[in-house]
Every structure is written in C-alpha cells, then in structure tokens.
Amino acid sequence: MSKAFDVVVIGGGPGGYVAAIRAAQLGFNTACIDDWKNALGGPAPGGTCTNVGCIPSKALLQSSENFEQAGHHFADHGIGLTNLSIDVTKMLGRKNTVVKQNNDGILYLFKKNKVTFFHGRGSFVKSGAEGVEIAVAGAKPEALIAKHVIVATGSNPRALPGAPFDEETILSNDGALRIPGVPKTLGVIGSGVIGLEMGSVWRRLGADVTVLEALPTFLGAVDEQIAKEAHKAFTKQGLKIQLGVKISEVKLAKRGALIAYTDAGGKEQKFECEKLIVSIGRVPNTIGLNAEAIGLKFDERGFVAVDADCKTNLINVWAVGDVVRGPMLAHKAEEEGVAVAERIAGQHPHVDFNTVPWVIYTSPEIAWVGQSEQALKAEGRAYKVGTFPFMANGRARALGDTTGLVKMIADARTDQILGVHIVGPYASELIAESVVAMEFKASSEDIARICHAHPSLSEATKEAALAVDKRALNF
C-alpha cells in the first residue's frame, strides 16, 4: 500500500529540504526523501552543501584562517606565540561536528514542521491519475504516491577524462575536505570557486599549492578589476596560479599524481604533487532517478529541463537547485525551493537571478551582485563607476586587513545600481546591503544618503556610492 502525500521532495539539500519545509508550512502533507549517509550509515540531510560543500569548507576556511592569523598577523598586535602547530585530525573533527549540527538541525526542522522524512534513494515508478508513484530504496523500502513532486537531486563533481576520483590522491571536493595531513605539495586543476577556497585552506596550513587553469583569464565571471586585485593578493600569499594551460594527462605516480600539460606559452610541462584536487565544475545528478518511467525531460547538458518557474515538461513535477539551469549556489536552490512550494499553493513568487549574490570565501573575500563592468561594456550600456579602497577605511585599518575595494556601477542616466563588486574583508556580509538596494531598484545616491555606522566596513560601500558622483569624502 503506497503512502500518499500532497508533495514529495526528492533530495534533502538546500533546495529540497527548504522546499519541503515551505510546502509543510503552507499546509501540504509533505515528505522529503534523501539518501545521504553519515559515517555510521545514518541519515545526513542537507545535501552537498551541508555534507561536502558550503558548511564544511567554511569550517576549514575558518580554522586555517585562524592558523594563518596566529602565525603571521598576531605579532602585529603584540601577541607572541611560540611553537605554533596545527592538529589536522582535530581540525577535521571540528568540521565534522559542525556538519553534524547542521544535519541534526534539519532533522529537527522536519519534525517541527511535520515533514515526513524517508532515508533512502527515491526513484520514479510510474505516473497515473492519482499522482506520481515513487519507490524509496533504503533500510526500509517504501512506496509513495504524490500529487506534486519536486526534484532536488543536486549535482556531482565533474572528473577529468581518464582520471577518476579515488579520493586518496585525485580528490573531488569530498576528498579535499578530509585530507588527513597537510600535503607538502598540492595541485589544483581549475581556478574556480572550489579550487580557490580549498587551495587557500591547504596553502594556509603549509602546503605548496599550484593551481592550473584552462582559461587565459583569472575568474572570468568576476568583474575584471576585482579579479585582478584578487589575483594579486592570492599570488602574494603564495598560491601559484598558471592560466591558459591544457591538461594532457593525469595519472597516479609513486608518491602522488603526475600531471602532463601544455602551458600558456605552448611548452610541454610535467608536474608532480602529493595530492591533486580536480575542481573543474559540477554536473547535474539524476543517477538512479529512473526519470524515463514518467517521461521527465532533460536539456542537452543533462539538467532537468525547466521553465523560468521551475516547471518541468510534466504537470505537477517541478525541479530546483543544482539539477536545473542557473547558478549552482545553495541560496539560489533555496529560493527556487520556496518559490515552487508557493506556486503549488497558487501563489506568484519570483526569483530574480540578477540579484543573486555570489561569494568566494577566500581571504580577501570576493562578493558581487548584478552585472560586471565588462558585461555592461559588451552590452553597450552607459554607466558610471565609483570605487573606494579599504586602505582608506578606518575599520579595515583597525582590523589590519586593508586589501581590496568596493566598486559600485550605476546607470549613467538614471543612477540605478547595476552591480556592486567587493574584494576585501567580510565582503560576504557587506554584499547584503547592495542586494537589498538592487532588489529595491535603488540608485547610488540612495546608498550615498543613508547613514552608515562609523567605524564600519560598510562605510566603504557608502563611499563607493559617493564616488559614483565623484564626491567620496575619505579618499
């Protein structure tokens, strides 16, 4: 006998678990199926984000940043330390605890909101007049029938052809988050978000890190001025970044991995490293979903095909998050999950991709919202730019972290803010103000006229806004 639900969500990552909670809040009898297992084989909802993504990476970034501060910057404050050491086992243990707190938090939220949780793999059986039938394969097999289905099955790391992840030497994000000791040498293929964040973690702890990137430009999607500033800072810290390389072969060697590649000058090169992180993007995950059973369509890149409202080709079947088009970000997945639950309830929500913030949690952090200067130039749009360096910000000086700047771009005619780009301390937090401003279609003058606390890093945003009108006060 199948258990009947109004809404069944397949996948318990940020897209899925948030969709399930919102659906339950709206009064639907809701279930969420997730197959992630913790070390003991028990449920670990939260998906990539909680288990091997956002949360553990930020835990390690914090630990390694503390180590870096203690080793290189505490002395500036008059704090002396001798025999500084890092206990990697303890650091990884702390990270695992943080992950578990988040897993448990989601299980608690399911209970609180009366979402029925099934631990196992969900696959489509068939679709009929009563709804969509789904089988759950887990410790306790279940048969469900749903009026509405939300597919939120996420993504998996993309491997290099001929070099599968063994998570010992050739590492995806998963292995990169649990290297048992600091490697002497670490190779990173792909200087995207994961490559830079994980490369930073292990570099701060003492690894000699080389990053090999195929594209000739560094962080191509980021505003050029910001990317240039970040590149300068990372290089100064010791990250060896090579752009425009072509990887010919990656193979396991006696003591690590051996990479053969052609450098930007066309020269054949060989590079050996103890551990290798491959972070060249991610692919949608629809493994084992048995989508054919109900005729669910994919696009040419393997994502579940959806329209702007996350509707698939099938009535009452929706898809959100990494498994559909758009940025692979936890907060984008969450917004889509909430929006779909509300659409099922007959509401009319809207997710605006142009105001989705992006953050790279390196040091300095990089964060942006809206369009880059190069994108606006290519579009032929007339714009004005204001920048303000953290060097001229009192709080940044007090923090001892004056790298970077805030850059605000506004429409030349209307002054509406078109993009804000930050490289510098706490950029991840600072960007929120600009997201709100853009959501409310604010002008740079609006930000310039708002009272900002002193001394605070947010004054740099106000000053950048003033600079759009060429009237910065402190620079």
Choose the one of ligand NAI, ligand FAD, none that binds residue 35, judging by a C-beta under 5 to 8 angstroms depending on kind: ligand FAD
Nearest to 230, CA basis, from 264, 195, 206: 195
289 binds ligand FAD (CB under 6 A): yes
14 binds ligand NAI (CB under 6 A): no
Residues 6+ apart with CB under 8 A from 419: 223, 368, 369, 370, 371, 372, 373, 376, 408, 409
By CB under 6 A, the residues from 27 to 86 that bind ligand FAD are 33-36, 47-49, 53-54, 57
Choose the one of ligand FAD, ligand NAI, none that binds residue 121, judging by a C-beta under 5 to 8 angstroms depending on kind: ligand FAD
Active site residue 454: yes
**Bridge-based pairing state of the strands 131-137 and 142-151:** antiparallel
C-beta closer to ligand NAI: residue 177 or 464: 177
243 binds ligand NAI (CB under 6 A): no
Angstrom distance (rounded) from CA 53 to CA 46: 10
CA 405 to chain centre: 22
- Tell me phi and psi for residue 277, to 5 degrees: -95, 125
Least Å from the CB of residue 137 to ligand NAI: 28
329 binds ligand FAD (CB under 6 A): yes
Choose the one of ligand FAD, ligand NAI, none that binds residue 386, judging by a C-beta under 5 to 8 angstroms depending on kind: none
**Distance of CA 321 to CAs 17, 46, 109, 385, Å?**
11, 13, 20, 33
Least Å from the CB of residue 450 to ligand NAI: 27
Angstrom distance (rounded) from CA 282 to CA 285: 9
405 binds ligand NAI (CB under 6 A): no
Choose the one of ligand FAD, ligand NAI, none that binds residue 215, judging by a C-beta under 5 to 8 angstroms depending on kind: ligand NAI
Q: Of these, 10, 21, 341, 376, which contacts ligand FAD (CB under 6 A)?
A: 10
Choose the one of ligand FAD, ligand NAI, none that binds residue 16, judging by a C-beta under 5 to 8 angstroms depending on kind: ligand FAD
173 binds ligand FAD (CB under 6 A): yes
Choose the one of ligand FAD, ligand NAI, none that binds residue 47, judging by a C-beta under 5 to 8 angstroms depending on kind: ligand FAD
**One symbol per residue from 183 to 212: x for binding ligand FAD (CB under 6 A), - otherwise; what is it?**
-----------x------------------
Q: Of these, 188, 247, 310, 437, which contacts ligand NAI (CB under 6 A)?
A: 247
Angstrom distance (rounded) from CA 14 to CA 334: 5
Least Å from the CB of residue 356 to ligand NAI: 10
Least Å from the CB of residue 49 to ligand FAD: 3
Task: Point out which span in 25-33, 190-198, 234-242, 380-388 binds ligand NAI (CB under 6 A).
Answer: 190-198
Residues 6+ apart with CB under 8 A from 466: 386, 388, 448, 472, 473
Angstrom distance (rounded) from CA 437 to CA 168: 45
C-beta closer to ligand NAI: residue 172 or 387: 172
Q: Of these, 330, 420, 431, 457, which contacts ligand FAD (CB under 6 A)?
A: 330
Torsion 456-458-459-460 (CA) sign: positive
Task: Give the Cβ contact number of residue 298 at 10 Å.
Answer: 16
Please return the burial class of 129, using the count of CB atoms within 10 Å of its CB with bins 0-12, 13-18 and 19+: exposed
362 binds ligand FAD (CB under 6 A): no
100 binds ligand FAD (CB under 6 A): no
C-beta closer to ligand NAI: residue 212 or 320: 212
Torsion 322-369-439-376 (CA) sign: negative
Q: Of these, 192, 256, 321, 337, which contacts ligand NAI (CB under 6 A)?
A: 192
459 binds ligand FAD (CB under 6 A): no
Task: Point out which span in 252-260, 330-338, 373-381, 466-474 binds ligand FAD (CB under 6 A).
Answer: 330-338
By CB under 6 A, the residues from 347 to 376 that bind ligand NAI are 359-361
Choose the one of ligand NAI, ligand FAD, none that binds residue 212, judging by a C-beta under 5 to 8 angstroms depending on kind: ligand NAI
154 binds ligand FAD (CB under 6 A): yes
Binding positions for ligand FAD, rule: CB under 6 A: 10-16, 33-36, 47-49, 53-54, 57, 121-122, 152-155, 173, 194, 285, 288-289, 321-323, 328-331, 333, 361
Catalytic residues: 454
Binding positions for ligand NAI, rule: CB under 6 A: 189-195, 197, 212-215, 247, 279-282, 327-329, 359-361
